[in-house]
Amino acid sequence: MALYLTNDDVRMLITTEECVGVMEDLFLQEARGLVDNMPRQRIRFEKAGANLMGGTVLGSNAYGVRHSNITLLYDTTTGKLDAAIAPNELAWIRTGAATGLAVKYMSKPDASVVGLIGAGHQAITQLEGVCAVRNVKQVKVYSRTEETRRAFAAEMRERLGVEVVPVDSSTAAVKGSDVVVTMTSSREPVFDGNDLGPGTMVAAAGVNSFTKREIDETTIQRAAIIAIDNIEQAKTECGELMWAAERGRFAWRRAVPLSDVVAGRVPGYPSSDAITLFESQGIGIEDIAASKYILEKARKAGVGVELPF
């Protein structure tokens, strides 16, 4: 019988660090041709709306569809419904894990200083993902509200056991950092690409709309490698790349799939002074792979509620 898993169940069953491994396996499967991503569809009603995304991960025998309020997971060997999973915590965790995976392959092995722009709830797993793959010694966090960044820094010091300091500008967060992560809803770039030092890896994880941009054209043009979790989806959602492409400052042929970087087909960190950029859109196959992993753990642990069908 199918299981129903709540957001609380999900939080109990998987950590961001665990999920980095799940994402790594997923993108290796993609490199072998074993996945099919369903790009996000935004459905508008008269007074409301919904999102729909999903895909197939054959190596995990999983197919699923994530609606705004539920993820439905099916077994590809039987075609039967395996689980109904609340999506919010899972999306939060796998988004941070995807960034962690990109940092693992696209940053300096000795990267230890992180600049984080954005101090909301979503930024928590972003930082957890980076700390899961690098020996982080210091995090500099900036957000527009001083109280918010101070509270976030205190929480993450306790949570991760690393030095997290609030700074009063995005410039201070970026300069001297080995890894820069953006997790905002900004409509305009949140830092000046000229402030990036040689060898910096940038992870843009906050926006997936043509009307929003976290990264400026300078960063895009300086990047030696631009990796995307799904290029097809990025062509309709990645505001900064769409914006730059329309102005002739970026050509989509420059972009490479994250799966190619993970599989070793593209040197994610080509030289000690190369700037690299990861554009995270948040894609359906990430939800499905993580859902399957969680379901297997839930069955072993006896977690969840059996559905009558």
At 191-201, the pLDDT tens digits run 999 999 999 99
Q: In the chain, what is the straight-line distance between the N-terminal and C-terminal CA atoms, in Å?
A: 6
Contact 183, 114 (CB under 8 A): no
Q: What is the 3-state secondary structure (H, E, C) of 229-240?
A: CCHHHHHHHCHH
Q: What is the pLDDT of residue 139?
A: 98
- Which of 9, 169, 161 lies closest to 93 in space, CA to CA? 9
Query: pLDDT grade, residue 50 (50/70/90)?
Result: confident
State which amino acid sits at residue 280.
Answer: S
pLDDT score of 172 more than 80: yes
Question: Per CATH, is 103-279 categorized as 3.40.50.720?
Answer: yes
CA distance 66 to 55: 9
Mean pLDDT of the chain: 96
95: closest CA among 72, 118, 62, 78?
118
Residues of the chain with CATH 3.40.50.720: 103-279
Count of residues in the chain: 309
Q: What architecture is the 3-91+284-306 domain classified under in CATH? A: 2-Layer Sandwich (3.30)
Which residues of the chain are in CATH 3.30.1780.10 domains? Answer: 3-91+284-306
- What pLDDT, in 10s, does the model give residues 219-272? 999 999 999 999 999 999 999 999 999 999 999 999 999 999 999 999 988 899
If one compares 309 and 8, the residue with the highest pLDDT of the two is 8
